[in-house]
Structure 1
Amino acid sequence: MWNTPPAALTPTLLSRLPDAQRRPRRSAWADANRDGAPVDSFLEGPCFDGAGNLFCTDIPHGRVFRVSGSHWEAVAEYEGWPNGLAARGDDELLVADYRHGVLTLDPRSGAMTAVAENINSEGFRGINDLILHPDGSILLTDQGQTGLQDPSGRVWRLHPDGRMDRLISNGPSPNGLVLNRAGTHLLVAMTRSCEVWRFALRPDAVVAKANLFFRVPAGTSGPDGMAVDAHDRLFVANPGHGQVWVVDPHGLATHRVDCSAFGRMPTNCAFAPDGRTLVITESQSGSLLAVEIPAP
């Protein structure tokens, strides 16, 4: 699978969810995703806003945190399952919520507003992640419980005027998604087939020649959240293996960030404002990790 073994990078602990804010209890989310075991947290969606503030989500307990050092402030706590986040401007976050669709969040007041709750009155399967395109549209994955047994997960594009394009309808569990640096191609993690798909974005919503760009090793889980750096390298969080794979623009793995000393569930990643430090949500330990990524 590898031309040469990916070089190992070792992350450090950036911050840990304080014990006082952990809630080890059974929930509907845990019943569906953790065989009913009590879950004290499940961190996802690392995101930096324009002022450099770091946010992340806690899915089963419906929380969005702002993290500064060891201080974790819940800027929102509600009856939802927030997953992916994206900053829109300096004072608004977009939230991908499995229960409620796409929401906005004002982190100053905690106010939340629905952006897209359904498509033509039909509910989403379960929104997982979202990103902003430079043209103002929102790209989002509609994962639900799809997988190899039901490869019908969807990828949508929501235009600023409210139009919705269905770009993909046969995804085996579409999860994280990112744009290349030019904004011309979309990469989507297909968790249950252990693949990352890549395809060109067209203004007419026609998708042609979608390509398998990268495949993670098979295991108990496939690729989850992703990020792209200034050199167009792709960073793929891979729960189960406890790794974040670093992939060059040609689809070759050059490095791996080994998170297994903390846990085997790195769910997502994002670059800090310096463009070099990758921040990772490690959900087994309820921690945020950081690693400096070497230049190509």
Structure 2
Amino acid sequence: MTPIRTVRRSLLATAGLLALATPAAQAIDRCPEGAAPATPVLTGQGVLESAIVDADGRLYYTDTTARELRRLDAPGAAPETIASGIDAPGGLAIDERGRILVGQGDGLVPGLQGNLRPVARLLRVDPTTRVVETVASGLQMVNGIVRADDGAVYASSDVGFGIDRVGPDGTVQLRWASVFSANGLAIDRAQRHLYAAQTFQPAAITRIDLRDSSQVRTFATPPPDGIAAGLDGMTIDGADRLYVAAQVPGEVWRVDTAAPRFCTIATGLRTPSAVAFGHGRSGFSAGRLFSVGFDGVIAELPSARVTGAALAPVPAAGAAATPADGPTAPRVLLTPSRVTVRGGFVRFTPRLVLLAADGTRRSVTRRLVLPGGRTVRSGRAVTVRVAPGARTLTVRFVLRGVRRTRTIALRRP
């Protein structure tokens, strides 16, 4: 376990004891939907710090003990290491090309010295090629990160003072906003406000004006029983309701930003550290909320399911592209759906088709990424060598600003 986790657990445990000793404490009410216990999806994953789901329903998460970024394609699938050797991995976000942004330096030393000697970095990982690049350096801690539609990235420090900003060109603004012990971050759909969950002080959600970072105010505070909850990772749904991990009680709380009020939406967790909404039609699909924790458990939170307009926006898709995965958006098909292997090779012509709700079809041309990193334009014939025993062929592409994955079944004569 990394030092920051040990210190954080000790502080949170002390805070929890103090909270229990508070007289006449008022409990956090359950949400109208209830607060069903979390359902484990995967256990034994080390000390998990952050999580995010891409447009294709694949869950990415950081393991601080193994210093890895991992991916889980669906509940029940085996986890896959996407990048390793990341010292003190922190928050996660996704850019406009589907690449994963990872904070490096989410540790006690970077956090405490961040205001004087910032050494944390923002990394970018291509999940297809596995190439890792540095986007920005000289940050405080990158404990939590969030990406705005304009490409700016905001990074928090839960043992420091101030939220940093990385501009679309990589320019760093240290202490862009003055917020103490900021942790989980979320941006509303209008792209007007940044919300920050605060950990080591009386628990609160702070709101910052994205157009004027001097406009910082406490937005919501829980009742007395929740002041030492140890708020951690946070996300937001399409109705601008916040969901935040409360470590000390082992719960997830929801806050309606229209009328700030906390309620409990999930229980039965141990030290939850982050929450993330699913996306797409399969895997960790749209409308479902998932959590990760310091206990190495990935879980689904059944009471937190959302539908319709409340569906969380697709990461990095931007406001204009969000309808691409809405209920009336066209389905994206890759044809053929099945090809025959002959002599260890398959030869086919991949085509992308948009299928509208009224049944009309329209072909589109995109660059397709095949296994091994080879690329081809859709609509052109290609020959691909396949591994012995392989059952599927994975094809990746970007459409409407969202990275997508489709598979072609392999049959053998």
Q: How does the TM-score come out when normalised to structure 2?
A: 0.57
Match of 2:94, as an amino acid?
A
The one of 72, 94, 100 equivalent to 1:93 is 100
**In 2, are the aligned partners of 1:196 and 1:215 still within 8 Å (CA)?**
no
**In 1, are the aligned partners of 2:265 and 2:304 still within 8 Å (CA)?**
no
Counterpart of 2:155?
140
Distance 2:305 2:82 in 1: 33
Matched, 1:270 2:279: no
Counterpart of 2:293?
282
Match of 2:51, as an amino acid?
P
Is 158-167 or 185-194 further displaced after alignment? 158-167
Match of 2:289, as an amino acid?
L
Matched, 1:44 2:49: yes
Cα shift readout 1:5-28 (whole Å, capped 9, x = no counterpart): 22342244352145xxx5xxxxxx
DSSP 3-state at the match of 1:50: coil
Counterpart of 2:129?
109
Match of 2:127, as an amino acid?
P
Match of 2:102, as an amino acid?
V
Unaligned 5+ runs, structure 1: 23-40, 119-123, 147-152
**In 2, are the aligned partners of 1:91 and 1:108 still within 8 Å (CA)?**
no
Q: CA 1:62 to 1:255, structure 2 compared with 1: closer, same or farther past 3 Å?
A: same
DSSP 3-state at the match of 2:221: strand
Shift of residue 116, structure 1, vs aligned partner: 1.1
Counterpart of 2:217?
210
Cα shift readout 1:173-208 (whole Å, capped 9, x = no counterpart): 111100112110110111001111012111xx4422
Runs of 4+ in 1 over 6 A off after TM superposition: 1-4
DSSP 3-state at the match of 2:168: coil
**In 2, are the aligned partners of 1:50 and 1:89 still within 8 Å (CA)?**
no
Q: Give me the CA root mean square deviation.
A: 2.4
Unaligned 5+ runs, structure 2: 1-24, 107-119, 280-284, 311-413
Q: How does 1:69-218 map to 2 (within 5 A)?
A: 69-70=75-76, 71-98=78-105, 100-118=120-138, 124-143=139-158, 145-146=159-160, 153-165=161-173, 166-169=175-178, 171-193=179-201, 194-202=203-211, 205-215=212-222, 217-218=226-227
Match of 1:112, as an amino acid?
V
Match of 1:9, as an amino acid?
A
Match of 2:291, as an amino acid?
I
Distance 1:227 1:2 in 2: 25
Counterpart of 1:241?
249
Shift of residue 91, structure 1, vs aligned partner: 3.5
Shift of residue 115, structure 1, vs aligned partner: 1.0
DSSP 3-state at the match of 2:143: strand
Counterpart of 1:5?
29
Q: CA 1:107 to 1:255, structure 2 compared with 1: closer, same or farther past 3 Å?
A: same
Shift of residue 60, structure 1, vs aligned partner: 2.6
**In 2, are the aligned partners of 1:201 and 1:207 still within 8 Å (CA)?**
no
Cα shift readout 1:44-99 (whole Å, capped 9, x = no counterpart): 22111222211111013211111133311111111411121111135410001226
Q: CA 1:2 to 1:276, structure 2 compared with 1: closer, same or farther past 3 Å?
A: farther
Distance 1:256 1:96 in 2: 28
Q: How does the TM-score come out when normalised to structure 1?
A: 0.78
**In 1, are the aligned partners of 2:38 and 2:267 still within 8 Å (CA)?**
no
Match of 1:283, as an amino acid?
F
Match of 1:212, as an amino acid?
F
Match of 2:42, as an amino acid?
R
**In 2, are the aligned partners of 1:229 and 1:275 still within 8 Å (CA)?**
no
Distance 1:289 1:44 in 2: 16
Match of 2:65, as an amino acid?
P
Distance 1:278 1:43 in 2: 16
Distance 1:294 1:52 in 2: 15
**In 1, are the aligned partners of 2:50 and 2:61 still within 8 Å (CA)?**
yes
**In 2, are the aligned partners of 1:85 and 1:93 still within 8 Å (CA)?**
yes
Counterpart of 2:65?
60
Shift of residue 108, structure 1, vs aligned partner: 2.0
Distance 2:262 2:288 in 1: 19
Counterpart of 1:256?
265
Match of 1:207, as an amino acid?
S
